[in-house]
Amino acid sequence: MNKEFMSGNHSFGEAAIRAGCKHYFGYPITPQNELGEYMSEHLPKAGGVFLQSESETAAINMVEGASAVGARVMTSSSSPGISLKQEGISYLAGLELPAVIVNVMRGGPGLGDISAAQGDYFQATRGGGHGDYRTPVYAPASVQEIADLTYKAFDTADKYRTPVMVLSDGLIGQMKEPVVFPKKIEKLPEKEWALRGMGSGPSRLMASFHIDPAVIERHNWKLFRKYQEIEKNETMYETYMTDDADIIAIAYGCTARIAKGAIKRVRKDGIKAGLIRPITLWPFPSQIIKDTASKIKKYIVFEMSTGQMLDDVLLAVEGRIKVQFHGRPGGAIPTPAEFARIIYREYQLESKS
Amino acid sequence: MKLKNPWPIYFKKDVETHYCPGCGHGIVHRLISEAVEELDVGKRTICVNPAGCAVIAYNYLNVDCIESAHGRGTAVATGLKRARPDLFVISYQGDGDLAAIGTAETIHSANRGECFTAVLINNAVYGMTGGQMAPTTLLSQKTTTTPTGRTSGNDGYPLHITDVVATFKGVAYAERVAVNGPAAVQRAKKALKNAFQAQIDGLGYSIIEVLSPCPVNWKMSPIEAWKWIDDVLSKEFPLGVLADRRPKAV
Ligand SMILES: Cc1ncc(C[n+]2csc(CCOP(=O)(O)OP(=O)(O)O)c2C)c(N)n1
Ligand code: SF4
């Protein structure tokens, strides 16, 4: 396989095309414009359709239409645009329609800034739109992972008939790195459930609205069981230098890269620090965090927010050990030196106690 | 006139209607069923159902149906048609749906000349939510949110959305019809068939606006509602062809 040197945003596009995505609907917003631009050039060549929609709202509803007839389909945006897509994502969940939604996060709230941030964790993992649903969320930490997880996101979406989010940020989106792409899928299996016109069979229906509350309740329990399956089968994480660690950082996406840099530094001074990196944010890797808690002194949660994933860590730890938080919100990017200082400080506090 | 089929294939039989007595929705459903049968596209039809009184149009239409969020029917239809250009797609929408919350999707799908047919039910109110003001509500018309009548100062003027999109080059066919009486119904069916044929011929976007009675929210009897369409509603929204960019037969 050839190694290519590519930006994160372009890699989303190439990985999607290789995964058999034939349709992309989206609206420009920085810092993810290169993704739509890539699709506009390469998707038609791959026999697909690129359409610049009039809004993110329109885009996600075009996704509904294309998904309903069985196509592999993608939309992408950055934070403010993802807010506009939430109603549509809720419909996709209710209608059980697969789709891949990319969020290249920027600073917020409001228009915020166009720098990388991680302030959309709650929105991504708590459903975001209305109703009792979940969205699987992949959080790549490198351009290579953008390729691998985008490719995988299409499989997960189809396997469980659910919208899937790939949650990245302006840093990884804009960054160029060597990347090896997965093989191009030439032919996908037909989706039995898709709308296709009656042909010779009975008419088909896709609806999330039911007048009878008993029907909606049954539907919600069905979704719930599906989410349980996803939790059981699809949780992903990476551990780094955790075997002998006294103190473990928990971070995802680009923040995990920065934390790794910090851990390398403090390890030189003999500080036994490690990292747990959630790769799926929902389902969250609670078990490993819970199991590891009994073996170490302290967790430090690093985020580019004022503490969102922190909630999930606290739920997993259940008060067993101390959890320290360090975050930089709104688009300010921390450095490995800054994280290293926090690790030194927490380590010293622990040694004293 | 003798019908080819005693009952249209694409109109479900033996179902109870949930529409109010004198409602226009059921008539339009029946016309759509007849038209797709006569044009032989029923087996490849997908109808997008709106949030509105027609949300369960699939209870009556015997074709593939998909639900859309309020106002987004033409975006869903765009996705369907872009992914499967061989399918025949109808976006069935109320006036609140198509001309208020979904205005952007309406305008842009029409302007792109997306090759599907929008069917707009203009009943001058929000039916499903209980008779509030719609963009099409007439000046001085009383609704539950214009209790003393719509005023231009507060609410602006009745919105002529079909006239607006009729000016777009991407629109192959646009006509406004009514369903208040047998003659009007026949004209409505002809208009639907013209619009559907434009889609079949790949000519672009088509839209049929139907002035449709909502006796319950107009606080009228079904007969009074028919008359009100003739005497009042169609004075604001005159019937007729608004755009016809189909190539002329030679
Ligand atoms: C986002 C959103 N806002 C509001 C509603 C509530 N709602 C449902 S239908 C409707 C208006 C229906 O009026 P119209 O489109 O004119 O159709 P009609 O019922 O008259 O046929 C509204 C406001 C909704 N379902 N979704
Ligand atoms: S409220 Fe009006 S539009 Fe809705 S079903 Fe009743 S008559 Fe028809």
pLDDT tens digits, chain B, 250 residues: what are they? 566 668 999 999 999 999 999 999 999 999 999 999 999 999 999 999 999 999 999 999 999 999 999 999 999 999 999 999 999 999 999 999 999 999 999 999 999 999 999 999 999 999 999 999 999 999 999 999 999 999 999 999 999 999 999 999 999 999 999 999 999 999 999 999 999 999 999 999 999 999 999 999 999 999 999 999 999 999 999 999 999 999 986 6
Residues from A in contact with B at Cβ < 8 Å: 22-23, 25, 49, 51, 53-55, 57-59, 61-71, 73, 87-88, 91, 95, 195-200, 203-209, 211
Cβ of B214 less than 6 Å from ligand 2: yes
- Closest residue of chain B to A74, computed from CA coordinates: B79
Q: Give the pLDDT confidence of A230-262 residue by residue, as tens digits.
A: 999 999 999 999 999 999 999 999 999 999 999
**Backbone phi, then psi, for A113, in 5-degree steps?**
-145, -175
Question: Is B250 among the domain residues?
Answer: no
Question: Is B187 among the domain residues?
Answer: yes
Q: Give the pLDDT confidence of A285-329 residue by residue, as tens digits.
A: 999 999 999 999 999 999 999 999 999 999 999 999 999 999 999
Question: Is B77 among the domain residues?
Answer: yes
Query: What are the residue boundaries of the structural domains of chain A, listed by start?
Result: 4-233, 238-352
- Determine whether the interchain pair A197/B68 forms a contact, defined as Cβ–Cβ distance below 8 Å: no
Q: Give the pLDDT confidence of A300-309 residue by residue, as tens digits.
A: 999 999 999 9
CATH number at residue B220: 3.40.50.970
Q: How far is B185 from chain A (nearest CA, A)?
A: 26
Evaluate if pTM is beyond 0.90.
Answer: yes
Q: Which CATH superfamily is domain A4-233 in?
A: Thiamin diphosphate (ThDP)-binding fold, Pyr/PP domains (3.40.50.970)
Question: Is B229 among the domain residues?
Answer: yes
Domain limits for position B153 = 25-244
DSSP A109: S
Q: Give the pLDDT confidence of A97-152 residue by residue, as tens digits.
A: 999 999 999 999 999 999 999 999 999 999 899 999 999 999 999 999 999 999 99
Domain A238-352: which topology?
Rossmann fold (3.40.50)
Q: What pLDDT does residue B2 have?
A: 60
Q: Fold match between A4-233 and A238-352?
A: yes
Question: Is B146 among the domain residues?
Answer: yes
Q: How many domains does chain B have?
A: 1
Question: Is B140 among the domain residues?
Answer: yes
ipTM of the complex: 0.96
